Amino acid sequence: MIEGRGADLGDRESGSAVAGFLLVSLLVTVMFLGLVQVAVIVHVRSVLIDCAAEGARRASRADRGLADGEDRTRELVTASLSATYARDVVASYVTDGELDLVQVEVSAPIPVIGLWGPAGVITVTGHALREGP
């Protein structure tokens, strides 16, 4: 075997592949978990918007009221996500220019995966054109 600088260099760096793999895999794992967290937040937001819009459509009917829209929104949110997300639902009549609308607003906690993540509240609204007088 030939002795020299090349042989010593190979022996000194023999464990660096394991350390490099560990650091890269840790970085990839953290990035993947962050991507999953964002996907869950976007999914919950989309479901809440759909439930609020459906509740507004129910409340906008001539034979229904605001309480019916709130109840329908809570029912849909509970069935789709959890009762935790259906705690703060408010329906009201609003005017946008010459249009009379029903607005349903849902405020829910931001879902967190794991121990760390964004804290706060998502607030979404759904609108529907009000029927009747």
Q: Per residue in 33-71, pLDDT tens?
A: 889 988 999 999 999 999 999 999 999 998 999 999 999
What's the pLDDT tens digit per position in 78-110?
999 999 999 999 999 999 889 999 999 999 999
Query: pLDDT tier at 6 (50, 70, 90 boundaries)?
Result: low
From CA 19, how far away is CA 85, in angstroms rounded? 43
Here the tokens at position 110 are: 């931001």
What's this model's pTM, rounded to 2 decimal places? 0.80
Q: What is the CA radius of gyration of the chain?
A: 27
- Which pLDDT value is given to residue 20? 86
Average pLDDT for residues 103-125, to the nearest whole number? 86
Which pLDDT value is given to residue 118? 74
Do residues 39 and 32 lie in contact, with contact meaning Cβ atoms separated by under 8 Å?
no
8-state DSSP, 110: P
Tokens 């993540």, residue? 117
- Per residue in 36-46, pLDDT (tens digit) is 988 999 999 99
DSSP letter for 85, please.
Answer: G
- What pLDDT score does 19 carry? 85
**Residue of 120, 115, 103, 128 whose CA lies nearest to 44:** 120
Six-digit token string for 10: 């190979």
User: How far are the Cα atoms of 9, 33, 64, 107, 111 from residue 45, in angstroms, in the given order?
Assistant: 55, 18, 26, 10, 10
Residue 112 pLDDT class (50, 70, 90 cuts): confident
pLDDT in tens, 15-35: 788 888 899 999 999 999 889
**27 compared with 133, residue with greater pLDDT:** 27
